[in-house]
Chain A
Amino acid sequence: EVQLVQSGAEVKKPGESLKISCEGSGYTFNTYWIGWVRQMPGKGLEWMGIIYPGDSDTRYSPSFQGQVTISADKSISTAYLQWSNLRASDTAMYYCARGRSSSWYEYAYWGQGTLVTVSS
């Protein structure tokens, strides 16, 4: 069974750094794209970027380029989303998602979400 398990909720202060994780199991981690999606409180879904763990090919949506870093460690089947300088506006639920197939057109498997709260 394909599963994506995300790290737990975080409470941080503005200016702090943070790295959240998404561990895949039940499939060959290296061979499927993993994406990250933001959902701000009460708002819709925004695609942040994707990574192919096999070769760490990473693509960002323009709105998130330079704002976050996506990475993966295929040795432990885990993808990451990190910030170096959190802002209050980063407060949101963050989801990771895996491609339905080996292509990058549809994402069928989702993690449970990680709630990030940034407040002074």
Chain B
Amino acid sequence: DIQMTQSPSSLSASVGDRVTITCRASLKIDTYLNWFQQKPGEAPKLLIYAASSLQSGVPSRFSGSGSGTDFTLAISGLQPEDSATYYCQQSYTAPQYTFGQGTKLEIK
């Protein structure tokens, strides 16, 4: 199994800040990496697919980068509505996908 490790587990930032969340795979996964946002009581929402492609309808302040084992989700110009938990997911071994443990983002 490919393990996905996110850091940090939680973070707090202010409106307007830029934050980054990292995701490390236990094996190389090329760019088969997706990022999801989940707000309390809601279903996950796909933000970024194939490591750096922005899903339709997602604000451009979200961006993704990386390949191989190390990936980053960046959010610039934080908004109050960005308060959520963020998950990375590898699809290299599709259909045996695995998620990271999640990063909880709080907006001060």
Contact = CB atoms under 8 A, between A and B. Distances in A.
Interface string A96-110: 010010001111101
A61 B91 contact: no
A53 to B, nearest CB: 14
Contacts of B99: 44-47
Contacts of A44: 87, 99-102
A24 interface: no
A111 B55 contact: no
B66 interface: no
A47 to B, nearest CB: 4
Interface in A72-120: 95, 97, 100, 104-108, 110-113
B43 A110 contact: yes
B68 to A, nearest CB: 17
A59 interface: yes
A113 B38 CA distance: 12
Given A44-B87, A59-B95, 16 more contacts: A44-B99, A44-B100, A46-B99, A47-B99, A50-B95, A62-B1, A62-B96, A95-B43, A104-B91, A105-B34, A105-B49, A105-B50, A106-B46, A107-B34, A110-B45, A111-B43
Interface of B: 1, 32, 34, 36, 38, 43-46, 49-50, 55, 87, 89, 91, 94-102
- The 8 closest A-B CB pairs, nearest first, are A110-B43, A106-B49, A59-B95, A47-B97, A105-B91, A108-B46, A45-B99, A50-B95
